[in-house]
Amino acid sequence: MTFTAQIGNVVFQDIIYNSSGPRCTTLEELRALGESESSAIMMKSCSPEPRDGNPEPRYKEVELGSINSIGLANHGYKKYIEYAAELKEQFPEKPVVVSIVGFCPEDFVNLVTAFQNEPNVDVLEVNLSCPNVVGKPQIAYDFETSDELLAKIFQIPGDKPIGLKLPPYFDPVHTAMMAEVLKKYPISFITCINSVGNTLIIDPEAEAPLIAPKWWLGGLGGDYVKPVALANVRMFYKLLWDRMMIIGCGGIKSWVDVFEHLLAGASLVQLGTVLGKEDTACFARIQQEFYEYMEKKWYTDAKQIIGQLKEL
């Protein structure tokens, strides 16, 4: 079987790795990803300066997923440059993927420039979709601002592949509008989706919300969001299949979810909520389940599956 993927010149030996979110902030957590069956090491979204994020409680697991309002807590980009050097030395065969987030255009430009010049980072994912920073809207819902920002980013010299982490879109018109913006630039991939933002889960026993920040609203992940993620993967695949790779993220906790994301159009998939719940053992479990089922289906290459959803 050949279930590998390639972003630019960067080869992923398997199609499953972690999303930027749970268990990827500290060097110890990143080393654990390197030691696991994750096909890459994705780092926590990093900002120009270290951030403590939002006050606790800010993350809660629930039966069908999770809700969080972490608020981009991270160690700052300079620390992740240090981490990348250690990770590449210890795990030279695994791609190191950095997630970048800023609070103004200059932040994004400075961070992309820094990581384009960092030899131990292989791929850049630009996060345009964090829903959990108080007072800061999600950039990718503003198509004009996204266009202006991407124009700045893709003027920066460098040959590392750059992709975007996108929020969920809930109307095909908005998906099409964003696709028209994306077509203007040499984007290597888009990741669909970030958490579904500004949701509320209530504990009926306590008669209170589960998390404290941002008026108790947080990003929803897990089973709740898989249909939304699949819809976004499919719509963007139909609009952009010949221009850039689609990476699926949202509600993946078994081989079934991986298979469905590939059918919809994803070439790689990321694990988030399940990684938070099960730790890094989830990669080996899901891969084994997936390969066993592919053998039963007589599939030997991901290209036989990607985008091959049968339309009614």
pLDDT for position 140: 97
Secondary structure class of 163 (helix, strand, coil): strand
Domain membership flag for residue 208: no
Of the two residues 247 and 2, the one the predictor is more confident about is 247
Average pLDDT score over residue span 277-298: 97
The parent domain of residue 291 ranges over 5-54+74-200+221-304
What is the phi/psi pair of residue 17, to 5°? -150, -175
pTM for this entry: 0.97
Domain membership flag for residue 60: no
The tens digit of pLDDT for each residue in 119-170 reads 999 999 999 999 888 888 899 999 999 999 999 999 999 999 999 999 999 9
Domain membership flag for residue 195: yes
Residue 220 has pLDDT above 90, yes or no: yes
Count up the domains in the chain and report the number. Answer: 1
249 catalytic residue (yes or no):
no
Domain membership flag for residue 34: yes
* Residue 300 belongs to domain with CATH number: 3.20.20.70
Which of 130, 192, 249, 282 is catalytic? The answer is 130
Reported as type and span, the H/E element at residue 40 is none
Q: Say if CB 80 and CB 43 are below 8 A apart.
A: yes
pLDDT for position 2: 74
Other beta carbons within 10 angstroms of residue 185's beta carbon come to: 15
